[in-house]
Amino acid sequence: MRILIVEDDVEAAGAMARGLSEAGIETVHAADGVLGLAAAQAGGFHVLVVDRMMPNMDGLTLVETLRREGDQTPVLFLSALGEIDDRVAGLKAGGDDYLVKPYAFAELSARVEALARRRETGSVQTMIKVGDLEMDLIGRIVHRQGKEIDLQPREFQLLEYLMRHAGQSVTRTMLLEKVWEYHFDPQTNVIDVHVSRLRAKIDKGFDHPMLLTVRGAGYRLDA
Which H or E element spans position 152? none
Least confident of 29-33, 86-90, 135-139: 135-139
What per-residue confidence (pLDDT) applies to 140? 85
Is it the case that residue 30 has pLDDT exceeding 80?
Answer: yes
Is it the case that residue 182 has pLDDT exceeding 80?
Answer: no
What per-residue confidence (pLDDT) applies to 221? 94
Domains and CATH numbers, the chain: 2-121 (3.40.50.2300), 127-221 (1.10.10.10)
Phi, psi of 219 (to 5 degrees): -140, 160
What per-residue confidence (pLDDT) applies to 210? 96
What per-residue confidence (pLDDT) applies to 82? 81
Tell me how far apart the alpha carbons of residues 89 and 58 are, in angstroms, rounded to a whole number: 13
Report pLDDT digits (tens) over 49-106. Answer: 999 999 899 999 999 999 998 888 999 999 988 888 888 999 999 999 999 988 888 8
Tell me how far apart the alpha carbons of residues 79 and 91 are, in angstroms, rounded to a whole number: 13
Is it the case that residue 125 has pLDDT exceeding 70?
Answer: no
What per-residue confidence (pLDDT) applies to 124? 53
- Burial of 193-216, coded b for 16+ CB within 10 Å and e otherwise, reads ebbeebbebbbeeeeeebbeeeee
The mean pLDDT value of the chain amounts to 89
pTM: 0.56
N residues, the chain: 223
171: number of Cβ within 10 Å: 14
* Residue 101 and residue 80 in contact, taking contact as beta carbons nearer than 8 Å: yes
Tell me how far apart the alpha carbons of residues 159 and 202 are, in angstroms, rounded to a whole number: 9
Tell me how far apart the alpha carbons of residues 212 and 208 are, in angstroms, rounded to a whole number: 11
Tell me how far apart the alpha carbons of residues 200 and 38 are, in angstroms, rounded to a whole number: 49
Radius of gyration of the chain (CA): 19
